[in-house]
Amino acid sequence: MKKNLIVGQSGGPTAVINGSLYGVVTEAMRHTEEIGEIYGMINGIEGFLNGHMMDMRSLIETNELALLRTTPGSYLGSCRYKLPEDLNDPVYPLLFNKFTSHGIGYFFYIGGNDSMDTVSKLSRYAKKINSDIRFIGVPKTIDNDIFGTDVTFGFHTAVDIATDALDRLHTTANSHSRILLCEIMGNKAGWLTLSAGIAGGADIILIPEIPYDIDKVCKSVQKRSESGKNFSIVAVAEGCFDKEEAKMKKKERTRLRQEAGITTATNRIAAQIQQKTGLEARVCVPGHMLRGGSPSAYDRVLATQFGVYAAELIREEHYGMSVAKVGGTITANKLDDIAGKTKFVSPDDQLVQTARNLGISFGD
């Protein structure tokens, strides 16, 4: 018997998140025996709870579907809505009653770690009540910190944007003999800062996984200055912290920074460099620009591959799967194996070693 499919997007958008939506919908339309209606959640699971949905087949009539491949931002809107850990919470029967009333048999969610956690909880609840609804996660994040996959779509385009920012900072750094610090997104993991730092010619890369010693950061800057280099470029992950803060819990770190009136680690590092070395320092924060603009060709292909593969998974008798790219192959992980886990940069990672071999300092 045909069942209906629903797809939603959540978390921070990427330049190419709609590419995966395009893949899911176009592949779903091929499964004419299994799939009836194809619905889109407006603003993720939160919007679905409020009854906000749309018929995705309407995009065919208006020829808009193909445009999704190159339209940045979440076409279906987004949300940051975490389902409760307790599967006895009344929100679960409320959601499953809505699924039943719309004849949903397949649920696809495109998002980051929190979204994969959402799909994991829904699929565990489905097992608990013997529901036959299948739940598929399509991981996306510019942070590339989803466990179990080599890469997520959006990351590659964000590396391009951050690299372009670092390239452009060299102009002023050189002309004004300054230390230019660029704060790059990545609250938990430093993949984006590490990759763009290498590509963009940073002299110092600071990431959350390698707590820094500000005196060693200043020493690197001074060493460059003494060797005749009149500027330095520092790529700073927004979530990085120093060795003292590494001994604290995140809440403590945040509280102390707020009390000191520090908005981001980068502003404090710039002030410390200026004060300790006497060299002028300036901060640039590309921020949410890293999630916008035209997606790279690599990301367009990857997002579409993820979306198509996700829709193919409905043939499998699987509960709770999440699409992945491992060793060059598009595959899938059990959500229970990856949900709630973050893929951190190991200090022994080959990319870290490459940077060190290039003479890049991690402030450690």
Rounded Cα distance between 163 and 49, Å, is 39
143 as an active site residue: the answer is yes
Provide the strand spans (E) within 227-351.
232-237, 281-284, 321-326, 329-334
Does 193 contact ligand F6P by CB under 6 A? no
141 binds ligand F6P (CB under 6 A): yes
Give least dist CB 223 to ligand F6P, A. 31
**Is 36 strand, coil or helix?**
strand
CA–CA distances in Å: residue 253 to residues 84, 142, 238: 26, 24, 13
Q: Which of 65, 146, 185, 207 binds ligand F6P (CB under 6 A)?
A: 185
Under the criterion CB under 6 A, does residue 286 sit at the interface with ligand F6P? no
Min dist CB 321 to ligand F6P, Å, is: 22
Q: Which of residues 106-135 bind ligand F6P (CB under 6 A)?
A: 112
Report the residue number, 134 or 140, with the smaller CB distance to ligand F6P: 140
In 143-258 the beta strands, taken as DSSP E runs, fall at: 179-184, 204-206, 232-237
Question: Minimum Å distance from CB 103 to ligand F6P?
Answer: 33
| Among the listed residues 172, 53, 166, 46, the one whose alpha carbon sits nearest the alpha carbon of residue 102 | 53
User: Is the separation of the CB atoms in 322 and 119 below 8 Å?
Assistant: yes
Measure the CA–CA gap between 236 and 168, rounded to whole angstroms.
Answer: 16
Beta carbon of residue 112, minimum distance to ligand F6P (angstroms, whole number): 5
Q: How far apart are CA 111 and CA 94, in angstroms?
A: 22
Contact 5, 38 (CB under 8 A): yes
Kindly determine how many residues on this chain lie close enough to bind ligand F6P according to the rule CB under 6 A: 10
CA trace torsion 52, 57, 63, 65 (10° rounding): 70
- Residues 218-257 touching ligand F6P, rule: CB under 6 A, are 238
Q: Does 142 bind ligand F6P (CB under 6 A)?
A: yes
Cβ closer to ligand F6P: 187 or 331? 187
Among 12, 44, 211, 320, binds ligand F6P (CB under 6 A): 12
> Which of the 8 DSSP states describes residue 68?
G
Catalytic residue among 143, 145, 160, 299: 143
| 143 sits near ligand F6P (criterion: CB under 6 A) | yes
Out of 177, 187, 294, 305, which residue is the one contacting ligand F6P (CB under 6 A)? 187
Chain contacts with ligand F6P (rule: CB under 6 A): 12, 112, 141-143, 185-187, 238, 291
Write out the catalytic residue numbers: 143
